[in-house]
Each structure stands twice: as structure tokens, then as C-alpha cells.
Amino acid sequence: MAARRAAGAGGNAEFPLLDELMPWSVRPLRTGRPWVRSPDPATLRARWERLTRAEGAERERLFASSRLRTPHTAVAALPGRATRTGRFARDPGPFPDPVRILHGPFDEQWLIPDHRLIDAARPELWRVADGHQLFAVEHGFVPQDTGPALWVSALLPDGHSPAGRPGRIRPLYRRPGGTEPNLTPGLLDLLRDRLGDAGEGGCGGNDGSSEVALTAESVLAWALAVALPSPGGCRVPLPADGRLWAAGVGLGRELMRPQLRGARGGERPRLPGGRRPYVRAAIPPRPRTLDYDPDGEVLAVGEGRISPVPAGAWEFRVGGVRMLELWFERRTAATAGPGTVAGNGAANGSGAAAAPGSGAGNGTGGGAEAGRPPVDAGLVAVGPHGWLQEWTSELLELITVLALLDGLEDRRQALLARLDGAPLITREELVGAGVLPVPAAARRPASVLDHHEEGPEGQFALL
């Protein structure tokens, strides 16, 4: 089938790379100090207050300086953020309101949006992040990975991969306001010519193949439905059949909806038929383990019980890592010791928060157990005193998201099977039409000059 055709040393060369279809991409964010990110915003305020109260050598130690950031570094404010731009040691300023971000796939966390604290915040992403933007995120290639090669977010993603393989972040639009699609010039025109009226819609049916317009959003939806991992990046087979395209775009939109979690005017994710996970026994203040009973579809969070939890949600992995275990480890790491002590994964900045002996870091599964941090964890040691009520709501929604995505996998495989042997728009055709190679300018961020940005020490920024 198509998935097998893309396997091998370099994938199938007739399938264009996503990098050739959405050419402007940005590397993952790199905070340089894990304490600027947390599963809850109150923790970030507490860390900020402890840092700003400290003086001299203690502040230097808590700050956790790096080559790119120290308390004496002056940098420009992040686009759209009114934070101080002078040296933190001289004028920290007020606590900036935390922003919601996507930490790796499916994990919504909070970040202090102060450029003085973040080694590589990728300002070009903040410049185009608004209510119209969507971000496609591909993680680095992991052999034998059965999880999605690509996911989408309405939140600013940090682009981290559970397996630690660096990937790329691809905004759907190059400018704020949903303007200038991040597509290779000429791609939409070629698709319109090759797919004709069927590709533009009007081919009704029960396979999601109606009401499809050839837009940047439909290209992203198609990519979500068919993206195939390869060592060189995601490959995206392009059909020459309009009905096949329309069916794939319909499926891609179904894959997109639960990932956006109600953003862009959509509904919060819900399982069909009124089925939904419930808390059957209260989650304790400090759950230490996460286990799953497939017979009863019960997720055991310490002594707490949630059901029904479909097996597909429990087994859902990206880069070989179970998403539910990883999510749980990151939160119990923040409450792993007496009082406010965070766990090993947060302290070392790995983003995987894999406790010794658990299945979350190595993808072996079988339950998770929170680990303990180093004695001196600095600001990472500041965290909530126990399990937060909002985490229970977030866990229920994450179960729903993963169950919905798993429930669409059979249809995704069927679509890939239809692609096998179907007429394709190959890379050779894209080259012949002048769509490829990608112009160098399409790989660079657009100039955004319609708003003021403050540079270091209050100067005007030059964009």
C-alpha cells in the first residue's frame, strides 16, 4: 500500500515532501530553562515571585543562565507582548500573563512570554500567531513509529518531540490575519487544473467528499490524512483524482477537529453516541501511578478511576511514547515530593519527564510512576501542592481526543490503500510545471511591518 511505498531508506521519491508543499518552517522553541513552562499558570507566578525576590548570587542561581540568556541580557520583546526589554537583573518588571502553548503533541501547558527568559523563542512564529493561524507540526523520524507523523494546533506549539527527535513547525499562513498561505507558489493553481470541479466540491457522498474547496486549509487537511513518515521528513502523496482528494480532505478535517479542541469556532471534542469518560472514583491529591485495565476500560489514576477509556486512547503513541503516560508524568513530576517538588523530566529540560522505571519515556507501557527530582532543582521545584482539579478535566478531554483520533485510523489506512495504484501528481510533474524547486523566498518569513515592536532597552525593532 502507499505507506509501504513510502518506507525505506528515503521514502518514495515520487511523493513530494511536506517541506516542498509548505516550505516556510521554523525549528522548535528552546527555552533553555524548564522553569518558564508549567502545566498550570499559578506555578509560573510563584516561580517568578521567588526569582524576583532573590538577590545577587541566589538570583543568578535560580535564573539558570545559559550562553544565550543571563539576568544581564537585553533582548527585544516578543511580538505582541508588552514585556520589559531591559536587563532582568536591573528591572524584571511585572509578571507577564502566561500564554497557553502546545508542548509536544496533545499537551496544553503554560509559558512565561518574556523573551529575556527564553533562549530561542522563535519570534517569527509569535509574529503570525493570531486567531486565524494554524500550525502544522512534524516530529523527527522514528523508525517503526505507528503514531501520526503530523499534527495540527491552533495554539503556538513548541514543536518538541516525545522521542527527542527535532522536527519542524509550519504555520499555515505567512502573515497575520490568515493572509498569504504558506504554500509553494503555483501549487494551488496546479491542483485546480489537475483535480478540476471534483476537487473543488460538489461530488457529494458519505465519504466526506462534499463541499471541498482548494484552499490552504484543504491542503493542510489532506496532508493530515495521508502524511507518511520518512527519514527526510513527511512525504505527502498528491492524487490526480478529484474525488479521492475530496475524500481525503474530508477525513483530514475530521482529524483536525479534535486536535483544535473547539478553536476557530469549532466544538469541544466529544465521543459519538453520547459515550464519554467519567470519574468513577476521585483522583487522590498525590496520585503516584497510572495503570489501565483493558477488560473494564478503566484508567486507574492512583486510587482514582476513570471509565470508559477506549483501549485506543491508552495505546495512542507518538514516537513510541504513550501520550497518556507522558501527560501524567509531566503533572506528577510537579508534585512528586513533599510540598512543592518537581520531577526529573522537568528538571533536566528533556520535555519527556520520564521517571526511572516507567513506560512513558521508553514507550514500553504497562503503567507509569512519578520519580523524584534532584535535591537542588531550583525554580523547577516550585509547583502545586497536589493534583489540580483542572487537570482532571484536561485528562478527560485528552482521553476523548486520543479516542477520536484512534477511531479514524482505519479510515486513514483505507484512504492510503486507495492511493496505492491511483494516479498521482508526482514530484516530476511538479518540477515540470515550475512549482518545484521551491523559490528561496518562500522558505523565508514574510516581512510584517504593520505593528510596533520594541527592541532591546526600549529601542525600536527593525524587522
pLDDT in tens, 392-442: 999 999 999 999 999 999 999 999 999 998 999 999 999 999 999 999 999
Question: Which three cell numbers, joined as nine digits, stand for 403?
Answer: 479516542
What average pLDDT score do residues 18-39 get?
97
Cα separation, 49 vs 371, in Å, equals 26
Q: Is the pLDDT of residue 362 over 80?
A: no
pTM: 0.88
Question: Which three cell numbers, joined as nine digits, stand for 108?
Answer: 496544553
pLDDT for res 386: 95
Reported confidence tier of residue 334, pLDDT bands at 50, 70, 90: confident
Where b means 16+ CB within 10 Å and e means fewer, 163-173 reads beeebbbbbbb
pLDDT for res 356: 29
Measured CA distances, 148 to 88, 104, 195, 277, 317 (Å): 40, 13, 26, 23, 8
Q: Is the pLDDT of residue 211 over 70?
A: no
What average pLDDT score do residues 123-143 get?
95
Which residue, 150, 127, 128, is CA-closest to 139? 150
